[in-house]
């Protein structure tokens, strides 16, 4: 039987600019390397993109054909970032290790502000396996996003508004009107 090891990492970043930052310079998070509760680059402010040809079928979100369902959300990055992870690994036998982890983070529209750390933080817990080979480890992780923290920011496009009912959320994304 093996030993127990604790791993941790944190990224904090901010873009300081008097103008709107280009999307290629913005921060994104999510995926296997950073916040495992989100898909790759999906932990980010979102831009609603309307699609009038969409046929929404999920009655849990709103009535069929309501405007907030006719479209999709695209991650566009932000100017502030907090990403952290703590992982406990236990070597089971030979090259096989089991891990449990807690990931926390957010990406803000504006520059990083420590006041956002509590209310904006998104969390995920999970477990995984590591198998060490001669060319490097093979990793398999399973994460569950906790229902804690505010919704992801929505950057509205005034030329193409997408509405959500006041005081509601759509899969944890956006609240209020436009």
Do 88 and 98 contact (CB within 8 A), yes or no?
Answer: no
* Whole-number percent of the chain with pLDDT over 70: 73
Residue 1, pLDDT > 70, answer no
Per the DSSP assignment, residues forming a β-bridge with 23 are: none
Do 68 and 162 contact (CB within 8 A), yes or no?
Answer: yes
Residue 87, pLDDT > 90, answer yes
Distances from the Cα of 23 to the Cαs of 42, 44, 164, in angstroms?
A: 14, 11, 25
Q: Say whether 109 sits in a helix, a strand or coil.
A: coil
Residue 140, pLDDT > 90, answer yes
Pick from 40-54, 77-91, 125-139: least confident: 40-54
pLDDT in tens, 159-168: 444 444 444 4
pLDDT of residue 53: 59
The verdict on pTM exceeding 0.85 is no
């Amino acid at each position: 039987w093996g030993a127990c090891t604790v791993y941790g990492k944190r990224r904090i970043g901010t873009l300081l600019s008097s103008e709107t930052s280009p999307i290629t310079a913005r921060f994104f998070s999510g995926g296997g390397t950073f916040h495992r509760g989100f898909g790759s680059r999906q932990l980010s402010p979102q831009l609603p993109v309307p699609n009038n040809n969409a046929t929404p079928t999920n009655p849990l979100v709103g009535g069929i054909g309501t405007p907030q369902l006719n479209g999709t959300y695209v991650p566009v990055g932000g100017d502030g970032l907090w990403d952290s992870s703590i992982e406990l690994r236990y070597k089971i036998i030979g090259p096989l290790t089991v891990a449990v982890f807690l990931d926390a983070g957010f990406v803000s529209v504006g520059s990083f502000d420590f006041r956002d750390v509590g209310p904006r933080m998104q969390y995920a817990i999970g477990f995984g396996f590591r198998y060490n080979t001669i060319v490097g480890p093979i990793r398999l992780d399973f994460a569950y996003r906790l229902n804690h923290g505010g919704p992801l920011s929505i950057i509205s496009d005034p030329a193409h508004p997408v509405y959500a009912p006041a005081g509601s959320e759509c899969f944890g994304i956006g609240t209020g009107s436009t």
